[in-house]
Homo-oligomer: A and B are copies of this chain.
């Protein structure tokens, strides 16, 4: 017999890669939620979710989907959160938990916090997991195994609610750590958002080359470029929203990176071998640290 479910009814608002993975886990384990309800932006997604048989109920109307749920999880792109919160807020049950899986956290607190009725516990979270694929078919039950989930509650959030969200992610196979919202956005800007911005940019730079060179870029991509394109294949709406909702931290990290790239360009132009070697050595050092931390 499985442990008592954490929640009676889990409502997933949005059910793409992340939401459908949570649904699959909840189905498989039985100790996450007694009932799983899903809502999505398109009927097509809902139809597919029903076909996949990974939820108990698919609900076209977001307000109806969250009614009676003791845990509501927003799994849509963060740019849609303000509008979604406006729709669902009046229908959230007192004492219920509202959480999310968005990649930016200050914006989520800014967009959702003011709309919530008293008595609803708001516990933003961010599972650091994903693939280059999206949609309900892309999800799988092992997605969060061995990966971090950051739980990022605003000051004053009910500790029991925070712990329930942390426990949900532990049951999903995740390691959990708590983080302050502003710090989350800064760390994610450098480890995730900036690398993605760079990857999208260099793909565009290559795509702008004359036709002959471009076709050769594709043929000979194995020599470095390929590693950049893998992360450039991610969901466009999600990433547009991430960039626009972590603007300040992203621009700060991009600005530091650009200064460093200009310094590297100068070293290449003027033949400053020592400077270049030092930077390459630091790259190796960082890589070695990752290997020691088993993150590589």
Contact = CB atoms under 8 A, between A and B. Distances in A.
Nearest to A79: B273
Nearest to A255: B265
Interface in A237-282: 237, 239-240, 243-244, 247, 250-251, 253-258, 260-262, 264-265, 268-269, 271, 273, 276-277, 279-282
Given A194-B202, A203-B283, A228-B228, 13 more contacts: A150-B220, A191-B221, A203-B279, A204-B260, A205-B257, A208-B260, A218-B289, A219-B293, A227-B228, A236-B281, A240-B277, A250-B268, A258-B258
Contacts of A287: 132, 203, 229-230, 232-233
Interface majority SS on A: helix, strand, loop or mixed? helix
A222 interface: yes
A222 B295 contact: yes
16 contacts: A132-B287, A148-B219, A186-B213, A187-B217, A195-B225, A195-B227, A197-B261, A202-B260, A203-B279, A207-B286, A208-B256, A229-B287, A232-B286, A240-B273, A247-B268, A258-B265
A251 B271 CA distance: 12
Interface string A13-41: 00000000000000000000000000000
Chain A interface extent, by class: 35 or more
A52 interface: no
A208 to B, nearest CB: 7
A115 interface: no
A287 B222 CA distance: 12
Nearest to A186: B213
A204 B283 contact: yes
